[in-house]
Amino acid sequence: MTATATTGARVDAKGLTDIGKKRKANEDHFVVLTLRKAVEVRDSSLADPQVFERLRGPEGWLFVVADGVGGSAGGALASETAVTTLVEFLGQATASFNRIEPDKEHELLEQLEAAVHAAHRKITETYGGGADRGRNAPSGPATTLTMALLVWPRAYIVHVGDSRAFYLRKGQLRQLTRDQTTGEYMVNMGVWTEEQAAAAPVGGTLVSAVGADEMTPAVGLVDLQAGDTLMLCTDGLTRHVNDERITELLGRGTDAAGACRELVDEALAGGGHDNITVIVARMA
Amino acid sequence: MIQKKVCMVGVQGTGKTSLVQQFVHSMFSDRYLSTVGVKIDRKALDLDGTPLTIVLWDLAGRDGQEDITTSYLRGAHAILYVADGTRKETCDQLGELRALAREAAGEVPELLALNKIDLTDRWALDKRYEETLAREWDLVRTSAKSGTGVEEAFQRLGRATLATKEARS
């Protein structure tokens, strides 16, 4: 998927998901889409109807990855529901992407968070679970959710769980998200070392997920530049492919589709223990 | 609900993120992870009966290779500068940072958090230098670790945003 945004940025974006080698089902989902307020003149007596082109809003790109947890079909349903609900919610708020003035930016950020909360509600209402469930009721399915809304040049990131967002600039890979896992929390609190967290059986347990008892979206943003690459992925990639290797693969400069393929193949070659999902967006 | 954007500006490693963590979540971690881009947090305050939500923009700190990205400062209602009292060079750069920030955000309320006051054995500023800083800045001595001065710094800045001409009109 390649398009030139009205702002002049050319974005080549693609996503790819793979079941991996060990799992019986793919519980990951992703979406790459554009959002735009469009004015299209179908007919007119005006001398220059193209004047209305100026009403066409800048294009927003939305990238979402979600990694369902909960076993059997539950995880896949949770991630699918989260992605669908998120897109529906944001699609109804398209006016927000028309033009983002600095004094209106907080409204957009609230909309993005509200979209994640809407997905959380939808999952807990549909499949049970969440903090409001009965005391003895089993926890329902849940999902990670990492999204980036790109309104050039700014990428707004909202993230829950341990799916990650990175960007590559001039050969340097930077992680935009921090995993919401027990291991990360214990290291932050100074209880465990990073090595202990990596070795602990519960180190990778999510402390926050969409549909789970605890759901705390983390919000951030970054201004991108031409030449940058944005990458979102589930942990099926990062458990097998380290940052150095991701940097190397993304740095090859292949198109977005090729970069996705290379990353997924690398994770499969590393063992493919989990479902693998990657979105790559190249800015030119 | 009144919302005000407050940007955190300073050299890398001065404790901007730790101040936000302490203020918003009452947490402190010794682990250092540099901020990438901007992290955003919110905190609702009640300032003498006036509800105010501070939207905190925690900007990646200035380092030897990259300056702060001034486009993040547009639309800021206030700026909290953060310097590390155990590294004098972080204070020496405040003037440059202030010039950059004012160019992007205009004249908005500002305050300096002179951070890490708990590290007394490593304190690098003499009394005279601190007096000079206090003359040039609305200054609060803070410790993200103990929480000293943190609430005061943000509350004082929050009050300043409410007192601006724009907020009154």
pLDDT in tens, B45-55: 999 899 999 99
Q: Which domain holds residue A121?
A: 2-38+50-177+209-283
pLDDT for res A43: 86
Q: How does residue A127 score in pLDDT terms, banded at 50, 70 and 90?
A: confident
Domains identified in chain B, total number: 1
CA dihedral B71, A219, A222, B43 (to 10 degrees): 20
Residue B127 neighbours by CB distance under 10 Å: 7
Flag whether residue B44 sits within 8 Å of chain A, measured between CB atoms.
no
Q: Is A254 helix (H, G, I), strand (E, B) or coil?
A: coil
Residue B106 neighbours by CB distance under 10 Å: 11
pLDDT for res B64: 76
pLDDT for res A3: 58
Contact state of B33 with A178 under an 8 Å Cβ cutoff: yes
Structure tokens at B134: 């206090």
The answer to whether residue A83 is domain-embedded is yes
Domains identified in chain A, total number: 1
Amino acid symbol at B103: E
Structure tokens at A219: 């919000």
Chain A to chain B, count of Cβ pairs less than 8 Å apart? 46
Answer whether residue A256 shows pLDDT above 80: yes
The answer to whether residue B33 is domain-embedded is yes
The answer to whether residue B169 is domain-embedded is no
Beta bridge partners of A60: A35
Answer whether residue A234 shows pLDDT above 70: yes
The answer to whether residue A45 is domain-embedded is no
Q: Is A30 helix (H, G, I), strand (E, B) or coil?
A: strand
Backbone phi, then psi, for A159, in 5-degree steps? -145, 135
Q: How does residue B169 score in pLDDT terms, banded at 50, 70 and 90?
A: very low
Interatomic CA distance for residues B111 and B121, integer angstroms: 25
The answer to whether residue A182 is domain-embedded is no
A131, A197 Cβ separation under 8 angstroms? no
CA distance A22 to chain B (A): 33
Structure tokens at B96: 């440059």
Interatomic CA distance for residues B37 and A156, integer angstroms: 10
Contact state of A105 with B75 under an 8 Å Cβ cutoff: yes
Q: What is the Rg, in whole angstroms, of the alpha carbon atoms belonging to chain B?
A: 15
Amino acid symbol at B61: G
The answer to whether residue B168 is domain-embedded is no
List CB contacts (< 8 A) between A218 and chain B.
39
Answer whether residue A64 shows pLDDT above 80: yes
A112, A104 Cβ separation under 8 angstroms? no
A38, A97 Cβ separation under 8 angstroms? no
Q: How does residue A6 score in pLDDT terms, banded at 50, 70 and 90?
A: very low
Nearest by CB to residue B36, choosing from A101, A175, A187, is A175
Question: For the purposes of burial, counting CB atoms within 10 Å of the CB of A145, is it exposed (0-12), middle (13-18) or buried (19 or more)?
Answer: buried
List CB contacts (< 8 A) between B71 and chain A.
223
B80, B154 Cβ separation under 8 angstroms? yes
Contact state of A101 with B75 under an 8 Å Cβ cutoff: yes
Residue B11 carries which DSSP code? Answer: B
Q: How does residue B154 score in pLDDT terms, banded at 50, 70 and 90?
A: very high
Flag whether residue B31 sits within 8 Å of chain A, measured between CB atoms.
yes
pLDDT for res A98: 55
Q: Where are the alpha helices (DSSP H) in chain B?
A: 16-20, 88-92, 94-105, 127-136, 150-163, 165-168
Interatomic CA distance for residues A221 and B38, integer angstroms: 5
- For B32, nearest residue in chain A (alpha carbons): A188
Give the mean pLDDT of A24-41: 88
Give the mean pLDDT of A174-193: 93
Give the mean pLDDT of B127-142: 97
Q: Which domain holds residue B11?
A: 2-163
- Residues B10-23 have pLDDT tens digits of 999 999 999 999 99
Nearest by CB to residue A221, choosing from B3, B38, B75, is B38
CB-based contacts of A195: which residues, under 8 Å, 6+ apart?
none
Nearest by CB to residue B40, choosing from A109, A174, A178, is A109
Q: Between these two residues, A234 and A135, which has the higher pLDDT value?
A: A234
Flag whether residue B40 sits within 8 Å of chain A, measured between CB atoms.
yes
Assign residue A245 the CATH number of its domain.
3.60.40.10
Structure tokens at A35: 């959002």
Nearest by CB to residue A221, choosing from B3, B37, B41, is B37
What is the complex's ipTM, to 2 decimals? Answer: 0.90
Q: What is the Rg, in whole angstroms, of the alpha carbon atoms belonging to chain A?
A: 20
End-to-end, the C-alpha distance of chain A in Å comes to 14
CA distance A143 to chain B (A): 22
Answer whether residue A2 shows pLDDT above 90: no
Q: How does residue A229 score in pLDDT terms, banded at 50, 70 and 90?
A: very high
List CB contacts (< 8 A) between B4 and chain A.
none
Contact state of B38 with A222 under an 8 Å Cβ cutoff: yes
Structure tokens at A204: 């990778």
Nearest by CB to residue A220, choosing from B29, B33, B37, is B37
List CB contacts (< 8 A) between A101 and chain B.
75
Contact state of A102 with B75 under an 8 Å Cβ cutoff: yes
Interatomic CA distance for residues A15 and A255, integer angstroms: 12
On average, the pLDDT of chain B sits at: 93
pLDDT for res A96: 53
pLDDT for res A56: 67
Answer whether residue A106 shows pLDDT above 60: yes
pLDDT for res A182: 95
Q: Is B112 helix (H, G, I), strand (E, B) or coil?
A: strand
Contact state of A109 with B55 under an 8 Å Cβ cutoff: yes
Interatomic CA distance for residues A136 and A79, integer angstroms: 24
Nearest by CB to residue B29, choosing from A190, A219, A222, is A190
The answer to whether residue A259 is domain-embedded is yes
Q: Is A270 helix (H, G, I), strand (E, B) or coil?
A: coil
Beta bridge partners of B47: B50
Interatomic CA distance for residues A123 and A129, integer angstroms: 8
Q: Which B residues, 69 through 88, put their C-beta within 8 Å of a C-beta on chain A?
A: 69, 71-72, 74-75
The answer to whether residue A279 is domain-embedded is yes
Residue whose C-alpha is closest to residue B167's, from B100, B128, B109, B92: B109
List CB contacts (< 8 A) between B20 and chain A.
none
Assign residue B48 the CATH number of its domain.
3.40.50.300
